[in-house]
Amino acid sequence: MKANCWIAPNNVAVEDVPDPQILNPRDAIVRITSSAICGSDLHLLQGYIPAMKKGDVLGHEFMGEIVELGQGSRDGLSVGDRVVVGFPIACGNCTSCQRGLYSICENSNPNAAIAETAMGHSPAGIFGYSHLLGGYAGGQAQYVRVPFADVGALKIEDDLPDEKVLFLSDVLPSGYMAAEMCDITSGDIIAVWGAGPVGQFAAASAFLLGAERVIVIDRFPYRLRMARENTGAETINYEESDVLDTLREMTAGRGPDACIDAVGMEGHHASAALHAYDKAKQAAKVETDRPHALREAVLACRNGGTISAIGSYGGFIDKFPMGSFMNRSLTLRSGQAHVQRYMRPLLERIRKGEIDPSFIITHTMRLDDTPHGYDIFKNKQEECVKVVLKP
């Protein structure tokens, strides 16, 4: 089969690799009909997540048709079913899974010992997301093996097109969970850093959950325009105006009630000097992540507000404004999305027409063109927001 493989930093290639096969009783083999490139794939592409090996198959947002099932699969999955697969691999049996915290499943990372060294405790394994998180082959391929398919694969029973349900695998639940972590109450103003797919879904979800106003912050006019048109958010271009001042003014001095960081470890800063400072530290491996958005979110948030961090971080950050955070009674919530918890309810919302996630798709291409897809997505060319791959 064909699969998109990581070769070296900033180098991916579509290669012929062996077909997947059932390894465990609860596995399923899925023939992929659509997969996507996610913003967090860029961290892997650029080599910021250390445990990548030449030949690793990438991709954790995908859907398709079950072509083979292991002996032990439970709960009504059968060959021929059309499914969307959540990106965290979760067993459904451990304490974390039973509490709905699927992305910290205690059993699905076979490399837990390595992750423990880096993180203290191990999170769940993730498809195509480095050996630190399990060394699972990803879904930018023709076929993929799905462990614990009875927990991770959601059957799509009606004829909703791939484009409407594909993002249940990651970016839609991620954006939704980011908004949910804000505990939105009536009249709340939510600020969202990052107008990528997760940021836009977070903005849309914040409105769904009752926010009064949503303000999206980014530096690409086309992404901000998209957020305005599709979610009804107001926008700030941080290269044109000072974010803290503008937010203070827009909220009459209070600051946003909650701030969502949908940027993560590769943030940019309007000040070239500050950006260079973090970039240099990152290059020297003194700091692994560039937390510009997180720092700004802390400073912008109203007293007693909440920071909801959904952007991916890999390791260690410097200069977290702890004084501001502590003295102003802020709350920080974060996590990889517990996708399995949100897939079914969000599918219902899609069915009812409350949200149509397909608006973020700007490019659809063949699996063979994946390297080009990575290129335009990374460099923000051709107004690229989301690339969908068709094997």
Partner 1 sequence: MTDTLGIERASQDRPSEGLARLLGWFSLGLGAAALGARSRVGRLSGIDGSPTAQTVLRIAGVRELGHAAALLVPRRAGWGAWTRVAGDAMDLAACGRALQGRRGERRRRLTYTTVAVAGITAVDLYTAVRVARRRRPEGNEVHAAVTVNRSVEDVYRFWHDFENLPRFMHHLQSVRMTGDRRSRWTAKAPAGRRVVWDAEVVDDRPNERISWRSVPRAKVPNAGTVRFMRAAGGRGTEVRVQLGYRAPGGMLGARVAKLFGEDPQQQVCDDLRRFKQVIETGEIVRSDASPEGSAVQQQMKQRPARPLATRGAGR
Q: Which residues bind to partner 1, rule: CB under 8 A?
A: 1, 3, 5, 16-21, 23-26, 53-57, 72, 91-95, 98, 106-114, 125, 128, 131, 134-138, 142-143, 145, 147-148
Nearer to partner 1, 302 or 341 (CB): 341
For tokens 């080009």, the residue is: 372
Q: How far is the CB of 134 from partner 1 (least distance, A)?
A: 5
Q: How far is the CB of 169 from partner 1 (least distance, A)?
A: 18
Distance separating alpha carbons of residues 33 and 390, to the nearest angstrom: 6
Q: How far is the CB of 77 from partner 1 (least distance, A)?
A: 16
Nearer to partner 1, 42 or 346 (CB): 42
Strand pairing report for 213-218 and 143-146: unpaired
Nearer to partner 1, 84 or 91 (CB): 91
- Assess contact for 29 and 66: CB atoms under 8 A: yes
Instruction: Read off φ and ψ for residue 326, nearest 5 degrees.
Output: -75, -45
Q: How far is the CB of 146 from partner 1 (least distance, A)?
A: 11
- Assess contact for 363 and 5: CB atoms under 8 A: no
127 DSSP 8-state letter:
B
Nearer to partner 1, 58 or 154 (CB): 58
Q: How far is the CB of 74 from partner 1 (least distance, A)?
A: 10
Nearer to partner 1, 39 or 138 (CB): 138
Nearer to partner 1, 8 or 272 (CB): 8
Nearer to partner 1, 9 or 210 (CB): 9
Which parts of the chain fold into alpha helices (H)? 39-45, 95-98, 112-119, 149-152, 162-165, 171-180, 197-208, 221-231, 243-250, 272-283, 292-300, 322-327, 339-351, 370-378
Compute, in degrees rounded to 10, the torsion defined by CA atoms 13, 17, 23, 29: 80
Q: How far is the CB of 272 from partner 1 (least distance, A)?
A: 37
Q: How far is the CB of 58 from partner 1 (least distance, A)?
A: 9
Our CA angle for 152, 153, 157, nearest 5°, is 150
Q: How far is the CB of 94 from partner 1 (least distance, A)?
A: 5
Strand pairing report for 331-334 and 306-309: parallel
Nearer to partner 1, 311 or 391 (CB): 391
For residue 87, count other CB atoms closer than 10 A to its CB.
29
Nearer to partner 1, 125 or 267 (CB): 125
- Assess contact for 206 and 232: CB atoms under 8 A: no
- Assess contact for 231 and 203: CB atoms under 8 A: yes
Q: How far is the CB of 62 from partner 1 (least distance, A)?
A: 15
Per-position DSSP letters for 135-161, written without gaps between them? -B--SSBSEEEETTHHHHEEE--S---
In this structure, what token pair is assigned to residue 113? 């010992």
Q: Which of 73, 36, 76 is nearest to 58 (CA)?
A: 36
For residue 126, count other CB atoms closer than 10 A to its CB.
23
Nearer to partner 1, 42 or 208 (CB): 42
Distance separating alpha carbons of residues 52 and 44, to the nearest angstrom: 7
Q: How far is the CB of 313 from partner 1 (least distance, A)?
A: 22
